[in-house]
Each structure stands twice: as structure tokens, then as C-alpha cells.
């Protein structure tokens, strides 16, 4: 629908943070503020996000990555929650019907035609606060589904052009959603690029995360192309040249392109980072070398192609899987409420319940869980690459073990803001680690470490044990006029680390995940001598950061 509305951007402009300075916060527009505890006047709406801007600023994130806001079909698949009888909805939004239009339901009670203004208001105020807006976009399939699905648009316009079809006219499905857009057909390619331009020109968005992006590199018969025309056109388009491009570099047809997605402009969700960091802190044998590679920017994945650490979006959790709290509280998924007999959702979670399955009031269990949460969040924020936080992980948001909550438009998925008060110590810790990252450019450089910048060592000061079950290592990093020392102990034993001498023979503790708040990230930490045989005792399953100037 065309309207005569104009929009006053009030001299705001996109923040355009460099990739190296970017910290992403993944969130769902409705889920972020719809819970009664959110305290906003416009719950579940674009305007509700505006009311949370002070929170995002205090946390220190630089970009919101919003789950789908392109208008989508919220209706479910006919299933009901077997526990409550509730009709299940398409909550996440990966079922688009109008790619050029913002989701009207998130605009609240506004006159018809004003939905776009609500979205623009959100973008304008986020930009005023220095926060970028990245949209999670779906160009791999539509809500028209398979041969038995509804006809909304492309099927009626020209089915054979817009969708990949087999020899008998059946839909080829590389998405797990019933159909696959024929992305590299000239007509479809032009539509997708025009759509991206539309969101940049008219809505001032700063970037896009492409769902199942490997589909964008397939030809009309589903074969992966070495130089997909669509991806090249997006990367070279003058209107899109300054926007951030993020690929979920796989699809449901077996393509897996992490480390090899076509084009150097693209950052990629690095699932190797997710899995290797989880497995290291869980204590899996043989993970020390892989953990070190992820911490230092994943050069094994990106250096050979002339890329850099900022081609890697590092994450521990995302919307697709356990929340971080649930990762350390459940050994098995708990998806019965989805109505699929717990068959949906991955079983490869690398999770651990730390003493009992699900919620616990045992102080030892809770202390172990909190320490592991801090270990993984600190690892994420200390690693080279682009860190992405799943919204709510900083205050232990839980989905009660559901690792595929795509259909749960209820308290399973909604952000319970009382948890931010109950876990204020963790929230403070995350803010402090974000500030630490920002204060030390060496941690967020867009280049891989040189041998003179980074030195790895084992607990005895010698070379680390890269293989086996040692799961303990340290590194010293040149940081301007001083050094940082990062120590990792993923075992269940206390161990002593012999420390390097450092810049002046003495170290100051910046972080210690084994301590309770506020001593886990002290304003002024204790001093520790370097270079001696006494070293530093590291508690079990803990991470320590030291600084020497």
C-alpha cells in the first residue's frame, strides 16, 4: 500500500560502527518487552524497544539483530501444546509473506498505513543512541509452503520463476519449509536486491543477517554455484556497500559453508566457535587446540581465503537452540510443548546440567552453573571476531529446556525482566567484560595475532598440551603499553599457573569467574607477582584475566 506519509529522521544517521567495534545483541521484537515485567508502556512493539534503549546502552552493545520483522504468517501448523491445549503459533517469524513490509502486529494500535512510521521511529531512536539495526531476513523460502500450501504471491505471479521446481513440477526443498526461492534467476535476484535497497533507503537499517544463506548460492536445479550472481550483486551494489552482511552459511539441503561462504564482504555465524567453546568448558578431551583457535579469531577458517577475524560472528547461543542458562541446566532438550513428541530440535547441544536436570535450589549446583555461564560469556567477549549475545543470556533467561521454541508465543520465550534483578551480579559482570573489550583494542583487532603479539603457555609456563584432556592453558597478549594474561582452567581440579613476568613484574586481577560478584570483576583487583615459581592458583572451571602495565 502506498501512502503519502513522509518521515522526519531529525538529522539522525546510521552509526556505522566498524566491524571490529561491533557487539551484537540478538532479540525478538515481541518477546523482548511483551512480558508484564518489562515495565514498558508499549509491550511487544517497536516502540517498546525504544523504551529499552537505556538498558542496551548500559550493557554496551552496539547493534540489535532483530529476528524477522518482514511481514510474516503468524498462524501455526495446527498443532497444540499437549500440556496446556494452547494453539501453537509461528512466533519466530521465519515464514514471510510480504518481504518489503514491516510486521504490522509489532506496530501496535496505529491507523492503517502508520505501521512503517512505528518501525522508522524505532530505528531513528536507536540510531540517536548509537545503536545499529540489523534485520534477520528470509529470502530462502516463503509462507506459501509446498504443493498443498496457500497462494499469497509468488505462486500466483509466476510459480516456475520464483520457486525451484523438479522435473515433475514438485517443489525442491532445501529449507525444510516446503519450498525454495529460485534466488539466482534474474527476476528473483532483482527482487531480492530491490528489497534490501528498500529497507536501507526507506528504513535506514544498517545490516542484514540472511537465514539459511547457502540457498542464495544455489542455481535453479539446487546446485551450489562457485560465484553466485545474487551474492556478487549484493556485495557490489552501491546502495548496499556500507551495510553489514551476515550469512547463516548453511541450509537444510546439506550445504555447509562456514569458512568458505562466497565473497569477502560477508561475516558468517561461526558454529565452530559455538561448539568448540561449549565442549572445552564442558571438559571434553582434545578441545584445547580448537578452543585456542576460536579465541584468537579462527584463522584456520578464514586466513587462507584472505579474510580476517571480523568475518566470524562468534556466539555461544542464538535463538536457535538452548539459552545459555539452559545450556548449563539441561543435559537433554525438553521440547514436548511443541507438540512433536520431543522429536524436533537438535540433540547435539554439548550441554551439561551441572548436577541435576532443570531448575535447582541447590547452592552448589547454582554456583557451578553461574560460573560456567560467566566462563562462556567472558570467552565470547575476549575473543577476536564479532561477538553476538543472545538476548537475556546476560540475566539467565530460560526456556525451561526447550531448544526449538519457534512456536512458543508465551512465557517460554518472553523475556522475564525480574531475572535481571535476581541476577544483577551476572549482569554487572557482563557489563564489565564488555567494557574490558572496548578498553583494549588488541582484543577486537580485525587482524590475526602475530607471533609477537600472542604467546601461549601451559600451567608450568612451558608449551600447552594441545591434545588430550589437559584443558588448561594461558596466553599473554601485548596490549599497548602493557600486557594482558588470560588463564583458562576447564577441569574440575584446582591448578597452579606459573605466570610470565609481564610488563613490570606484577599483575592485577581484572576478572576471576570463580569469585562472587562484585569480586568476579573488581573495580580494583588484587596484585599478583609475575615470573616466580609460586604462580597463581586457579579454581576449578574458572577463567582469570590479569593486566600488567
Q: Give the model's confidence band at 2: pLDDT under 50 very low, under 70 low, under 90 confident, else very high.
A: very low
* Helical pair 363-382 and 424-439, crossing angle rounded to 10 deg: 20
pLDDT of residue 449: 97
In a domain, 2, yes or no: no
475: domain CATH number?
Answer: 2.60.40.1180
224 with 289, same domain?
A: yes
Domain with 513, as residue range(s), is 454-548
Q: How far is CA 59 from the centre of its chain?
A: 15
d(CA 21, CA 400): 33
**CB neighbourhood size of 236 (10 A):** 11
In a domain, 538, yes or no: yes
C-alpha cell at 297: 579469531
Q: Is the pLDDT of residue 80 over 90?
A: yes
In a domain, 43, yes or no: yes
Predicted confidence (pLDDT) per residue in 491-514, tens digit: 999 999 999 998 888 999 999 999
368 with 498, same domain?
A: no
What percentage of the chain has pLDDT greater than the value 90? 93
264: domain CATH number?
Answer: 3.20.20.80
Q: What is the mean pLDDT of the chain?
A: 96
Integer-rounded Cα radius of gyration of the chain:
24
Q: How many domains does the chain have?
A: 2
Q: Is the pLDDT of residue 1 over 70?
A: no
Annotate 160-199 with DSSP letters as a single string. HHHB-B-TTSPBP-SSSSS--B-TTSHHHHHHHHHHHHHH
End position of a domain, from candidates 425, 444, 463: 444
Predicted confidence (pLDDT) per residue in 105-154, tens digit: 999 999 988 999 999 999 999 999 999 999 999 999 999 999 999 999 99
In a domain, 432, yes or no: yes
350 with 487, same domain?
A: no
265-276 per-residue burial string, b: 16 or more CB within 10 A, e: under 16: bbbbbbbbbbbb
368 with 326, same domain?
A: yes
Q: Which residues are tagged catalytic?
A: 211, 248
Give the start-end residues of each E strand in 180-322.
207-210, 244-247, 267-269, 312-315
In a domain, 58, yes or no: yes
**CB neighbourhood size of 310 (10 A):** 21
In a domain, 515, yes or no: yes
End position of a domain, from candidates 420, 444, 468: 444
SS3 content of the chain, % helix, strand, coil (to 5): 30, 20, 50
In a domain, 3, yes or no: no
d(CA 474, CA 490): 12
Predicted confidence (pLDDT) per residue in 27-59, tens digit: 999 999 999 999 999 999 999 999 999 999 999
Amino acid at each position: 500500500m502506498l501512502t503519502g506519509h513522509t518521515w522526519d529522521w531529525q538529522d539522525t544517521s546510521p552509526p556505522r560502527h566498524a566491524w571490529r567495534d561491533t557487539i551484537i545483541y540478538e532479540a525478538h521484537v515481541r518477546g523482548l518487552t511483551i512480558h508484564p515485567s518489562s515495565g514498558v508502556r508499549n509491550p511487544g512493539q517497536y516502540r517498546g524497544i525504544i523504551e529499552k534503549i537505556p538498558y542496551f546502552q548500559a550493557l554496551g552493545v552496539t547493534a540489535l539483530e532483530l529476528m524477522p520483522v518482514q511481514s510474516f504468517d503468524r498462524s501455526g501448523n495446527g498443532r497444540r501444546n499437549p500440556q496446556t491445549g494452547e494453539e501453537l503459533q509461528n512466533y519466530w517469524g521465519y515464514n514471510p509473506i510480504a518481504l518489503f513490509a514491516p510486521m504490522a502486529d509489532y506496530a501496535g494500535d496505529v491507523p492503517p498505513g502508520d505501521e512503517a512510521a512505528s518501525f522508522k521511529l524505532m530505528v531513528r531512536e536507536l540510531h540517536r543512541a548509537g545503536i545499529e539495526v540489523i534485520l534477520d531476513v528470509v529470502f530462502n523460502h516463503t509462507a506459501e509452503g509446498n504443493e498443498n500450501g496457500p497462494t499469497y504471491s509468488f505462486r500466483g505471479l509466476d510459480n516456475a520463476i520464483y520457486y525451484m521446481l523438479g522435473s515433475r513440477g514438485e517443489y525442491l526443498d532445501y529449507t525444510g519449509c516446503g519450498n525454495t526461492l529460485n534466488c539466482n534467476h534474474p527476476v528473483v535476484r532483482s527482487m531480492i536486491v530491490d528489497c534490501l535497497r528498500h529497507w536501507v533507503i526507506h528504513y535506514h537499517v544498517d545490516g542484514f543477517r540472511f537465514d539459511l544463506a547457502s540457498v542464495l548460492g544455489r542455481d535453479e536445479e539446487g546446485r551450489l554455484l562457485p560465484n553466485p550472481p545474487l551474492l556478487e550483486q549484493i556485495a557490489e551494489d552501491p546502495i548496499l556497500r556500507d551495510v553489514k552482511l551476515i550469512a547463516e552459511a548453511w541450509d537444510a539441503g546439506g550445504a555447509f559453508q562456514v569458512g568458505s561462504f562466497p565473497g569477502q564482504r560477508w561475516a558468517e555465524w561461526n558454529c565452530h566457535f559455538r561448539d568448540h567453546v561449549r565442549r572445552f568448558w564442558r571438559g571434553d578431551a582434545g578441545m584445547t587446540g580448537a578452543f585456542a583457535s576460536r579465541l584468537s579469531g579462527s584463522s584456520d577458517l578464514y586466513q587462507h581465503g584472505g579474510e580476517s577475524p571480523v568475518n566470524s560472528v562468534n556466539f555461544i547461543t542464538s535463538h536457535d537452540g538452548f539459552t545459555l542458562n539452559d545450556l548449563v541446566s539441561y543435559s537433554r532438550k525438553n521440547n514436548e510443548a511443541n507438540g512433536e513428541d520431543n522429536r524436533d530440535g537438535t540433540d547435539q547441544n554439548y550441554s551439561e546440567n551441572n548436577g541435576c536436570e532443570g531448575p535447582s535450589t541447590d547452592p552448589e549446583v547454582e554456583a557451578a552453573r553461574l560460573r560456567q555461564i560467566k566462563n562462556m560469556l567472558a570467552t565470547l567477549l575476549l575473543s577476536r571476531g564479532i561477538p553476538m549475545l543472545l538476548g537475556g543470556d546476560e540475566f539467565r533467561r530460560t526456556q525451561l529446556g526447550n531448544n526449538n521454541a519457534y512456536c512458543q508465543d508465551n512465557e517460554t520465550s518472553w523475556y522475564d525482566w525480574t531475572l535481571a534483578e535476581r541476577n544483577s551480579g551476572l549482569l554487572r559482570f557482563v557489563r564489565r567484560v564488555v567494557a574490558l573489550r572496548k578498553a583494549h583494542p588488541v582484543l577486537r583487532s580485525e587482524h590475526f595475532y602475530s607471533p609477537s603479539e600472542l604467546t601461549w603457555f601451559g600451567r608450568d609456563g612451558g608449551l600447552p598440551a594441545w591434545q588430550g584432556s589437559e584443558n588448561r592453558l594461558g596466553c599473554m597478549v601485548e596490549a599497548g603499553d602493557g600486557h594482558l594474561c588470560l588463564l583458562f582452567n576447564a577441569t574440575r581440579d584446582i591448578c597452579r599457573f606459573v605466570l610470565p613476568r609481564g610488563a613490570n613484574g606484577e599483575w592485577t586481577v581484572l576478572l576471576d569467574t570463580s569469585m562472587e560478584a562484585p569480586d568476579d570483576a573488581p573495580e580494583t583487583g588484587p596484585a599478583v607477582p609475575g615470573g616466580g615459581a609460586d604462580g597463581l592458583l586457579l579454581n576449578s572451571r574458572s577463567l582469570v584475566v590479569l593486566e600488567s602495565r
